[in-house]
Amino acid sequence: MLRRVLRPVNARLDEHLPADHRLSQVYRAGAGLTGLLLVAFGILGLIDRIGFFDTGGDRVLALNTNGALSVLSLCIGVLLFVGMVIGGSFASTLNIVLGLLFIASGFVNLALLDTGLNFLAFRIQNVLFSFVVGVMLMWFGMYGRVGSALPHDNPYWRARHPEQAAREQRSRGPGPAPRAMTR
């Protein structure tokens, strides 16, 4: 009973995805593009030699920044590049987790905007950027992985419905299961 509550759909977020599956390209593209954007923002912020915890109005790519935010952006961008290189379920899970963290960061920094605790020099445009990047990363990470209309040849659907997948495999006859790049 407890197991059913903890894992209601008989699948974990980190289920195995074949290394050569085409969904991996979506996860890699999402991680790579977002990582590139964050690395560019971080490098441009560091080139301007802004103080590490300066909360002034220094702008890079229409966003407020300081040295701490630039270094943080660089680190997260590099982490996304690592996810892009590894690919597969790792890239998908990394995109989802970082997307959630970006959204949480947006809410936390929204609460800190006009306080002395705003040490990352966030302004409202930074908050909106955090929300947009968070949703974008989550979309890239969840693409083809969650949803009510996943096709039956999707590896995540097959992992969540092993009995029905086995019945469908038996009805198709011997041979490998089809693998399609569909939602």
pLDDT tens-digit readout, 76-113: 999 999 999 988 888 888 999 999 999 999 999 999 98
Structure tokens at 3: 């197991």
Rg (CA), the chain: 20
Query: Percent of the chain having pLDDT more than 90?
Result: 25
Is the model's pLDDT at 16 over the cut of 60?
no
Measured CA to CA, the distance from residue 26 to residue 155 in angstroms comes to 15
Measured CA to CA, the distance from residue 165 to residue 169 in angstroms comes to 6
Measured CA to CA, the distance from residue 14 to residue 33 in angstroms comes to 22
Apex 136 CA angle, 28 and 134, nearest 5: 110
Q: 3-state DSSP call for residue 18?
A: coil
Give start and end residues of each alpha helix (H) in the chain.
Answer: 2-6, 23-47, 67-86, 88-111, 124-142, 155-160, 162-172
Measured CA to CA, the distance from residue 72 to residue 88 in angstroms comes to 25
Quickly state the pLDDT bin for 181 (edges 50, 70, 90). very low
Is the model's pLDDT at 160 over the cut of 50?
yes
| pTM for the predicted model, two decimal places | 0.72
The tens digit of pLDDT for each residue in 28-82 reads 888 889 999 999 988 888 887 676 666 666 777 767 788 888 899 999 999 999 9
Residues listed for the chain: 183
Position 46 scores a pLDDT of 83
Count other C-beta atoms under 10 Å from residue 45's C-beta: 27
Measured CA to CA, the distance from residue 70 to residue 47 in angstroms comes to 10
